[in-house]
Structure 1
Amino acid sequence: MKHHHLFLSAAIALVTAPVATSAQSTAPAAQQPTDIAVREKVMVPMRDGIRIAVDLYMPAGAAAGQRFPVVLQRWSYGRKANNTAATGEWFARHGYVFVSSDMRGNNDSEGVYYMHDPVNDPRDGHDMVEWLATQPWSTGAIGTYGISYGGHTQFNTALGKPPHLKAQFLINAVTDYHDGGGAWSQGAWLGDHNLSHTLGAILTMHDNADKPAVKAQAEALRKDYDRVLALPAAEQAKLLAFSPPAQRWFSEWLAHPDYDAYWKGYGINPDRYRDYPDIPMLFYGSWYDHMQRPFLKAYLGLKAAHRSETRMISGPWDHGRSVSRNGDAEFGPDGEGHPLEAADAWFRQYLKGEQPTTPASPVRLFVMGTGDGHRTAEGLIYHGGYWRDEAAYPLARAKPTSFYLQGNGLLGSSPATSTTSTGLIADPAHPVPTIYTRIGGAFDQRCKPTYKGCTDSRPLNARADVKSFSTAPLDRDVEVTGPVSVTLHFRTDVKDTDFAVKLIDEYPASAAYPDGVALILSDALRRARYRDTLDKATLLTPGKTYTMTIEVPPTSNVFKKGHRIRLDIAGSNFPKFDVNPNTGEPIQHHTRQQVAHSAILHDPAHPSMIVLPIVPAAPR
């Protein structure tokens, strides 16, 4: 398959259940000082005459001539999707006009929809902001707000450089669309696969959303998930012939496997930081979000390029929810997030001009893992954690520390002293399954029959094609906070293969968990043909030794005394990532599959390792 991390989950999946975003599903009780007024389907003209549909949630004073700052949300989920009305009413009762906007060609809006349109979207964002600034109920101070796709549109809006855009609040925003280590990421909606997001987008198109035949064909494909999932994405694209616009964008994505000019103009990346206006930005992210690594990469790049305040918050959540429960873990009452309240504090300062009584820290992190590990009444492991303010991210006091792979399955503080290696088999016909339910997260790496690819309830590393390397039980608590990387020295008998890695907090056996718990913290995959650069593929020479570094999404976790730090390595992680046929053919057009036999080298000359940012212990 073509190899880019499209983060398609950020598109839309209206044929599936909508995302329950924390900003909407866990909103605190709104203040009720006034009634609000809602104006639906207001058509806003763009520079080329196309009109975009918006809904307005307005404080009652707007009708009497009072002016308010404006919070704009642009996305293609639908103007009322994901409890947007509750969010709009919340903002209106807190003294803002909240605007929920469809995209060009989306739902009631005119024009042709192109998912994450890199050409029209910045222009439309500019025109929407400037139209809002001229309205009689507007102070002219416009901020943007949104999650996922609603975050990507904020980036595009800013790149349109509207003069009245004053601040942004980005929640798990889609950033770099080519950040999957060279593999095709099936996105976060693992149970429905990337094609479902394309199908969901089709159903929101202005010109066909109400056509029964289109809906029927899209729904039929979604229901045929298992068969469609097994197809190369190029074959999936052929199934979209009933919607030529969708087939076009899907095919264009597949036609650009390398990180070329197409992708560099599609997302937020170093080539575009200099084009971004210098405005206050708050990055509200999640350790378990599949977009966290590029999200924080954008944060660091834009922070370095700007003088305006650029803050980050990162909690123990997944992509769509800021609740304290995530996967198999409970993070405690402090793990609950409140993005609406955080956004209000941000916008009070930058849209209303109010000065905070207590200056907020530049960085606020949730440090996971300080719980006692008991089983809660809901059957979750109490992983716990706490919030901590920091002056900067990454933490200056965090020391990059190497843990070296040993021949006995251990991670050691120094390289192995003997010439050893670990064999790894990758069979495309039997890929290692992703452990997930709705969207990924803090899951015990143990199979369940309900997980695709699992037929039993054994630990995942009981499979012969998963190799684990662990420290000895820790003699003290060890905190890891920040970016993680894995460097592998390897050779293989094929022209291309994958290496999937996972950082795991391995709990010891307990009365509640007799077999222990292998709680995943972060994972990544790198396709070997992109071992040197994502810009250009270079196939392997079988039998030759290579070195590859895999950037793993950052985390913040305390490995408690008695736990082990564990690294799992496999040749696949499906369906989170597409399966490599291992033949070296163009992956979307491969004609066969081949079992890869690889050797991970770990000896004095080939010190394979995981590098972790260890934070020195300090009083809390």
Structure 2
Amino acid sequence: MNKIVKQVRRVILRFFRKEKLRPQFNKYNGYSKPLYNKWIRTSQYLTVRDGTKLAFDLFRPVKNGKVVIDPLPVIWTHYRYHRADVQAGRLKKFFAKHSWSKIFIKYITFIENNTKLNTQLDKRGWLKRLIAHGYIICVVDVRGGGASYGTSEFPFSPSETRDAYDITEWFAAQSWSNGCIGMFGMSYMGITQYMAASTLPPHLKAIFPEMALFDLYDFVYPGGIFRHKFAEVWGDELEQLDKNQPAAPVDQDHDYSMLMKALEEHKANRNIFEFFDSLSFRDSTDQISDIQIYTDCSPSGYLEEIKQSNIPIYHLAGWYDAWCRDALILFNNLNNPQKIVIGPWSHLNTDGLDFACEHLRWYDYWLKGIDNKVMEEAPIYYYVMGAAKGEEWRAAWQWPIPNVKEKRYYFHEKHNETVNSVNDGLLSSEFPMTNEGQDHYRVDYTTTSGTTTRWANVYGGAFQYPNLKFNDEKALTYTTNLLSLDTEVTGHPIVHLWITSTHPDGDFFVYLEEIDDQGNSCYVTEGVLRASHRSISNPLFNNLGIPYHRSFAEDIINLPDNPVELIFDLHPISYIFRKGNRIRVAITCADQDNTLTPKVSPPPIISLYRNANYPSGIILPIAEENQD
């Protein structure tokens, strides 16, 4: 009887998803006609309130050989990495004449010999479709970057955020603008949209942030552990872009004198690695600016202002991006008109997504007043990895989704011979029956999730997790028996570790993996925590029931001699573990290619407890139709 009930429920749920909630995601029904097939680019400076000149590119549609003069909606992005790249022998000769470095000249030579002027329309071709549908596109170099004047103090500084307000209102006041301004962009350019919204610009009518963070601290110091590789690589990239590689000059800068002055001012930009390395707690204060960076320069510090703006927001995220959890927290804390889409994507990979379509649907509704029903659709649209073809995309009205039940799995001693790890333990829903039981682990600082992770992808690296079996062999592992059903995990896994250590602190990396019949280990998701940051606090926002580690300096507690519990989340996921495969939890104490764990000699020995008194394990959010 139970099987029949489950089958009926499954049919009802699938019907409900398909017939009642399915939005017109990634389909454009032609409410706005493509009237223009050409455009013109111009480039100039605008001046913000403190007198700083910011360079921007302006792309306007052309009809019958003439620039369209009718006022149109303007969509802009606050760009960090050069709004346009340079080319021209004249520029090379000019810099050579003024004794610039050899590396600078080599760069100019490379540009001249290999490329043309490269604008954002070249890099993001879908923007051309927006122009065709009657939108003006603007790309603005941030202060201290590209051809803009000024100094970049640090990411998302108060001065940079004030610029966003001034830029928005300047565009709204131009004769070619209809006063309806939108924003677009991913990563840094996604975060700047939330920061712009926090300033309440009257003419900012809609934003579309992609792959953007909510909490700067939780990214730079996840669980209190320094993501040094990101700070190092990204910092070097910005150093080169701001000081050693020229952006394209604006049209009026015929002798490059304005670009030269801008580059001189860039020399005062702060070193990103040194900046973040000096700010290891959430309440750390920057000694130069006297600002608490993780509060004053992060969307997490401006929730109330963003809500007050009531600016419509279309969040776009990927399950393998660094900031999927951030997008879901933002969605659950804002009451603005909003949508969220989460695909099977990493930071730099959004295969299968028609960007022009989704942006047009959003901007048509909010900037042109076209009633395309976009706000009548379910606000959440997410991809289930491993689902049957045609059933991967699901719609929902709330998050966490309602048809999910938390199921707790515990760590056990029993060996199931699935991997030659330190302990090869069992993962089971059965509660431990003994009052004793623990596994000992000597920290191995060579463990790593690889160099092509979601974290590397954020700073431009490749994305492709390796077979984690080889990392698991250096880890503590707990693996289920063969699954009797396909098992869908959708939500936020939570891990509970009872531990002691021979050292007063330690880093803990937990991986959720799927094991196939050949013993290969596929990465699903992960979470991290430094033991001294284990104190749990009440956040000032809805944290979706996820344990919140405030990580203030005063919260840091060394490990005692007796067992303590570490409770932390893994990044959210929607993933089906296949029948006949296994679920594994792997635990290490280092991820050498992605985070900085201080090395201790001799390496500490960790004891992980798995008994009735200290029941270590993991809680998985499992779709009810997949429950045993």
| Alignment TM-score, normalising by the size of structure 1 | 0.75
Of 461, 470, 473, which residue of structure 2 is paired with 1:459? 470
- Give 3-state SS (helix, strand or coil) of 1:181's partner: helix
Q: Which amino acid aligns with 2:295?
A: K
Q: How many aligned residue pairs are there?
A: 496
Aligned partners of 1:195, 1:476: CA distance in 2, in Å?
A: 44
Give the CA deviation at 1:411: 1.3
Aligned partners of 2:613, 2:52: CA distance in 1, in Å?
A: 62
- Give 3-state SS (helix, strand or coil) of 1:157's partner: helix
Q: Which amino acid aligns with 2:350?
A: S
Alignment of 1:261-272 (within 5 A): 261-269=292-300, 271-272=301-302
Distance 1:31 1:97, change over 3 A: same
Aligned partners of 1:133, 1:548: CA distance in 2, in Å?
A: 51
Distance 1:91 1:64, change over 3 A: closer
Do structure 1's residue 203 and structure 2's residue 206 form an aligned pair? Answer: no
Of 311, 316, 323, which residue of structure 2 is paired with 1:279? 311
Contact 2:144 2:269 in 1 (8 A): no
Give the CA deviation at 1:316: 0.4
Do structure 1's residue 37 and structure 2's residue 39 form an aligned pair? Answer: yes
Q: Which amino acid aligns with 2:227?
A: S
Of 561, 566, 573, which residue of structure 1 is paired with 2:579? 561
Contact 2:312 2:337 in 1 (8 A): yes
Of 596, 602, 617, which residue of structure 1 is paired with 2:604? 596
Partner of 2:348: 320
1:438-491 CA-to-partner distances (Å, cap 9, x unmatched) read 627563434xxxxxxxxxxx632122xx12111211111111111111111100
Distance 1:613 1:296, change over 3 A: same
Partner of 2:395: 389
- Give 3-state SS (helix, strand or coil) of 1:295's partner: helix
Distance 1:612 1:551, change over 3 A: same
Give the CA deviation at 1:244: 6.6
Contact 2:40 2:67 in 1 (8 A): no
Alignment of 1:439-458 (within 5 A): 439=457, 443-446=465-468
Q: Which amino acid aligns with 1:90?
A: R
Q: Which amino acid aligns with 1:68?
A: L
Which range is displaced more, 538-547 or 196-205? 538-547
Distance 1:496 1:208, change over 3 A: same
Do structure 1's residue 143 and structure 2's residue 182 form an aligned pair? Answer: yes
Do structure 1's residue 301 and structure 2's residue 324 form an aligned pair? Answer: no
Do structure 1's residue 519 and structure 2's residue 522 form an aligned pair? Answer: yes
Of 344, 353, 378, which residue of structure 2 is paired with 1:337? 353
Distance 1:114 1:91, change over 3 A: farther
Partner of 1:404: 410
Partner of 2:380: 363
Distance 1:431 1:442, change over 3 A: closer
Distance 1:196 1:31, change over 3 A: farther
Give the CA deviation at 1:249: 4.7
Of 248, 254, 269, which residue of structure 1 is paired with 2:277? 254
Give the CA deviation at 1:255: 2.1
1:506-546 CA-to-partner distances (Å, cap 9, x unmatched) read 222xxxxxx24321111121111111131235242453311
Partner of 2:433: 417
Q: Which amino acid aligns with 2:67?
A: A
Contact 2:210 2:315 in 1 (8 A): yes
Aligned partners of 1:435, 1:112: CA distance in 2, in Å?
A: 32
Partner of 1:571: 589
Q: Which amino acid aligns with 1:422?
A: D
Give the CA deviation at 1:194: 3.1
Q: Which amino acid aligns with 2:502?
A: D
Give the CA deviation at 1:573: 1.5
Aligned partners of 1:142, 1:352: CA distance in 2, in Å?
A: 10
Aligned partners of 1:460, 1:564: CA distance in 2, in Å?
A: 17
Which range is displaced more, 414-423 or 435-444? 435-444
Aligned partners of 2:216, 2:348: CA distance in 1, in Å?
A: 18
Q: Which amino acid aligns with 1:275?
A: E
1:402-448 CA-to-partner distances (Å, cap 9, x unmatched) read 111112211111321121112222133x34352626627563434xx
Alignment of 1:115-194 (within 5 A): 115-179=154-218, 180-186=222-228, 193-194=230-231
1:565-586 CA-to-partner distances (Å, cap 9, x unmatched) read 211111111212212325xxxx
Contact 2:36 2:134 in 1 (8 A): no
Aligned partners of 1:64, 1:488: CA distance in 2, in Å?
A: 63
Partner of 1:609: 617
Q: Which amino acid aligns with 1:400?
A: E
Give the CA deviation at 1:321: 1.3
Distance 1:169 1:298, change over 3 A: same
Aligned partners of 2:130, 2:338: CA distance in 1, in Å?
A: 22
Aligned partners of 1:111, 1:140: CA distance in 2, in Å?
A: 27
Contact 1:166 1:350 in 2 (8 A): yes
Aligned partners of 1:152, 1:175: CA distance in 2, in Å?
A: 8
Gaps of 5+ in 1: 1-26, 188-192, 212-242, 324-335, 373-383, 447-457, 509-514, 583-592
1:248-278 CA-to-partner distances (Å, cap 9, x unmatched) read 5543322221111331112121x42112121
Partner of 1:586: none
| Alignment TM-score, normalising by the size of structure 2 | 0.74
Q: Which amino acid aligns with 2:226?
A: W
Distance 1:608 1:442, change over 3 A: farther
Aligned partners of 1:268, 1:256: CA distance in 2, in Å?
A: 18
Query: Percent identity, aligned pairs only?
Result: 24
1:268-294 CA-to-partner distances (Å, cap 9, x unmatched) read 21x421121211111110000012222
Give the CA deviation at 1:186: 4.1
Identify the structure with the greater helix proportion: 2
Partner of 2:542: none
Aligned partners of 2:615, 2:311: CA distance in 1, in Å?
A: 44
Aligned partners of 2:130, 2:602: CA distance in 1, in Å?
A: 55
Contact 2:127 2:356 in 1 (8 A): no
Q: Which amino acid aligns with 1:164?
A: H
> Which structure is larger by alpha-carbon Rg, 1 or 2?
2
Distance 1:341 1:285, change over 3 A: same
Contact 1:146 1:170 in 2 (8 A): yes
Partner of 2:288: none
CA root-mean-square deviation: 2.6
- Give 3-state SS (helix, strand or coil) of 1:607's partner: coil
Partner of 1:535: 552
Aligned partners of 1:76, 1:44: CA distance in 2, in Å?
A: 17
Contact 1:431 1:579 in 2 (8 A): no
Do structure 1's residue 506 and structure 2's residue 515 form an aligned pair? Answer: yes
After TM superposition, which residue ranges in structure 1, 4 or more long, deviate above 4 angstroms?
207-211, 246-249
Distance 1:112 1:167, change over 3 A: same
1:183-210 CA-to-partner distances (Å, cap 9, x unmatched) read 11246xxxxx5322112212232x6645
Aligned partners of 1:145, 1:491: CA distance in 2, in Å?
A: 48
Aligned partners of 1:316, 1:94: CA distance in 2, in Å?
A: 29
Q: Which amino acid aligns with 2:577?
A: F
Q: Which amino acid aligns with 1:507?
A: D
Distance 1:565 1:162, change over 3 A: same
Aligned partners of 1:370, 1:468: CA distance in 2, in Å?
A: 26
Distance 1:196 1:252, change over 3 A: closer
